[in-house]
Homo-oligomer: A and B are copies of this chain.
Amino acid sequence: MARAHWGCCPWLVLLCACSWEPQPWPQRTYLPVTVVNTTMSLTALRQQMQTQNLSAYIIPDTDAHMNEYIGQHDERRAWITGFTGSAGTAVVTMKKAAVWTDSRYWTQAERQMDCNWELHKEVGTTPIVTWLLTEIPAGGHVGFDPFLLSIDTWESYDLALQGSNRQLVSITTNLVDLVWGSERPPVPNQPIYALQEAFTGSTWQEKVSGVRSQMQKHQKAPTAVLLSALEETAWLFNLRASDIPYNPFFYSYTLLTDSSIRLFANKSRFSSETLSYLNSSCTGPMCVQIEDYSQVRDSIQAYALGDVRIWIGTSYTMYGIYEVIPKEKLVTDTYSPVMMTKAVKNSKEQALLKASHVRDAVAVIRYLVWLEKNVPKGTVDEFSGAELMDKFRGEEQFSSGPSFETISASGLNAALAHYSPTKELNRKLSSDEMYLLDSGGQYWDGTTDITRTVHWGTPSAFQKEAYTRVLIGNIDLSRLIFPAATSGRMVEAFARRALWDAGLNYGHGTGHGIGNFLCVHEWPVGFQSNNIAMAKGMFTSIEPGYYKDGEFGIRLEDVALVVEAKTKYPGSYLTFEVVSFVPYDRNLIDVSLLSPEHLQYLNRYYQTIREKVGPELQRRQLLEEFEWLQQHTEPLAARAPDTASWTSVLVVSTLAILGWSV
């Protein structure tokens, strides 16, 4: 079913009432050209709902694997609503249709959705259920695709609806897909390939044995591990493809039992070499049997008939799998053993990831040098800049494209979370504004992610102060010494303290794990409450920021390896070793805010950058970049210690003595 953009009403000029509705929405009486007519699709969807006896149908924003980036054929919520933001849930009843999304997307949703849709400015299942209770009659059925609700999300809908006389109904055929029909983009079908041994930390056989050994040691003696996240299967078999934007994965599940390995994927996508690499012609415990992707639910259900216990990570398993396994046959952890193992990189993986960061620094430095020369000419915009950044990365060895959509944001645009310029809509870079670049690459040896904020002219005192406080946050967390097994959540405030001190803060997380040619946001490592404890060998980003609405945005992001710390008294302590190697903008640093310890740390870091990246620039005859690097890593001069604070101590002390000695 095709749909057309509304052509009737120029954006912000004509008041074009929603004439196909008896009552126009009071809050929107014009229609921007950017809206999509969804009347026909909604009518068709409601027919499908009627066939299934549903009062409502939930359309989530995810795919069957909780991927961060989803394929076009999975963009059901975007297709049915017109709203293309990456987060937001739609619910359709027989009379109404509504979308719930967070503040990042309110404007976009209002611009893209037609009058069939209500916008709700809340998130989570509770407001959706509250709305449902008023919109659908008692006894009503609420349908959903069980492969699009995680176990947690299903449980929260289920809990919220308990006692309400409304019932959740799992329908494995996706109703939006039925309506979408032949217009739905095809599922990707490129070859699935094995990584060269040089780029893997262990062979798939070693990894399989490792997981089986964890199964044997597990108290509940699971007989199988089920892997639902695409990165789990990609990691386990050292296989890659490009089904998902920015992530080198392919649609798959793995059921790894004590005596067999069953990989659910499209068999036609494996070359004979890859099939032989997987030992797929045999049936022993070290042979990978490839079964059709679409068979996974039935196969799990059949396997679960036996005397088995299936170990799942609940965070990445969808209700569609969960509901076919009897509860007593489930062994649940938040994250699967593959997720947990993958989080800690072995020494080869560490070396690979570090190497990719050196080359990545070369690409970023090339771009920064180029900007320094070209921005003053007034010829660079955010979009062309992002393209050039991607091009420079693409020229690096082992490059396999960007690891996410480059955030290239000038001036006030940098204050918008998740802003990315488009060819049509972008801002010129200027020496009068700050510029934020958050970008990363996929390389066969590692995934990178780095953010730098620069100013080529004269920053304001407030910009310098905010930048320096963000930098102090980055340094304070990076140099923190903390006990082994501390959770990131417990220490992330060190990245915020210098900002908090002045009444400033940032609204996003402080960092996330990162993979070896896997996810740029690799769970479960990071600083949020649902991240696991820090351990030696993990990699995480450290990325405090500050955003001044309508003016500018600052973020300083590095990737760091968790390493053992040497402490004065013996103990099991950890700290971070930063592996991103691009200097900060000295034009924005207010040295007077830095303590001796900060300066010492910074100059040591600059020394490391010189040692790591300098030779690489020289080897590649990037002499202008080498020169730039030298200048930008000059040790920062230690200012004389701020005597003001010492003076005030003395004054307070003296006053106190005087005040009490009379």
Determine if B641 and A657 form an interchain contact, defined as CB atoms under 8 angstroms apart: no
Interface residue? A482 (CB, 8 A): yes
In the assembled complex, A198 has its CB within 8 A of some CB on chain B: no
A571, B493: Cβ atoms under 8 Å? no
Give A568 to B573 CA distance when docked, in angstroms. Answer: 35
**Can you name the residue of chain B whose Cβ is closest to the Cβ of A129?**
B219
> Is A500 in contact with chain B by the CB < 8 A criterion?
yes
Q: A162-B327, A327-B162 in contact; A573/B503 too (CB < 8 A)?
A: yes
CB contact under 8 A between A606 and B656, given known A130-B219, A162-B328, A504-B569: yes
Q: Which residues of B contact A569 (CB under 8 A)?
A: 502-504
A186, CB-defined interface residue at 8 Å: no
Let me know if A610 and B660 touch, CB within 8 A.
yes
**A570: nearest residue on chain B (CB-CB)?**
B503
B-side contacts of A483, CB under 8 Å? 500, 505
What are the interface flags for A435-448 relative to B under an 8 Å C-beta threshold, 1 for contact and 0 otherwise?
Answer: 00000000000000
Contacting residue for A656 out of B492, B603, B660, CB 8 A: B603
Interface segment out of the listed A74-82, A518-526, A631-639 = A631-639
Does A187 lie at the interface of the complex (its beta carbon under 8 Å from any beta carbon of B)?
no
Interface size class of A (residues with CB under 8 A): 35 or more
B163:A596 contact, CB within 8 angstroms: no
| A654 surroundings in chain B (CB, below 8 A) | 635
From A346-354, A402-410, A643-651, the one touching the partner chain is A643-651
Report the separation of the CA atoms of residues A637 and B569 in the bound assembly, to the nearest whole angstrom: 28
Is A653 an interface position by the 8 A CB rule?
A: yes
A607 to B655, CA, bound (A): 10
Other-chain contact of A492, B328, B490, B607, B652 (Cβ < 8 Å): B490
User: Is A183 an interface residue when CB atoms closer than 8 A count as contact?
Assistant: no
**What distance in Å separates the Cβ of A651 from its nearest Cβ neighbour in chain B?**
10
Whether the pair A604, B162 counts as a contact (CB closer than 8 A) is: no
The 8 Å CB contact of A327, one of B163, B481, B600, B606, is B163
Does any Cβ of B come within 8 Å of A630's Cβ? yes
Copies of this chain, whole number = 2
Distance A130 CA – B501 CA, assembled complex (angstroms): 49
Given A493-B494, A660-B610, A567-B481 contact (CB < 8 Å) = no
Closest to A629 in B: B660
Q: A1 vs B63: C-alpha distance in the bound complex, in angstroms?
A: 65
A649 touches B596 (CB 8 A): yes
Query: Is the Cβ of A635 less than 8 Å from the Cβ of B657?
Result: yes
Asked if A241 is an interface residue, CB under 8 A from chain B, the answer is no
**Contact of A481 (CB < 8 Å), options: B162, B500, B604, B650:** B500
A326-353 vs B, Cβ < 8 Å mask (1 yes, 0 no): 0111000000000000000000000000
Give the distance in Å from the alpha carbon of A504 to the alpha carbon of B327 in the complex: 44
- CB<8 Å pairs between A and B, sample of 5: A481-B500, A502-B568, A503-B567, A503-B571, A610-B656
10 further contact pairs, Cβ within 8 A, besides A163-B329, A502-B569, A599-B653? A480-B500, A483-B505, A491-B493, A500-B573, A503-B569, A504-B569, A596-B645, A603-B653, A634-B656, A638-B653
**Residues in chain A within 8 A of chain B (CB atoms):** 126, 130, 162-163, 219, 327-329, 480-483, 486, 489-494, 497, 500-505, 567-571, 573, 596-597, 599-600, 603-604, 606-607, 610, 614, 630, 634-638, 641, 645-646, 648-650, 652-654, 656-657, 659-660
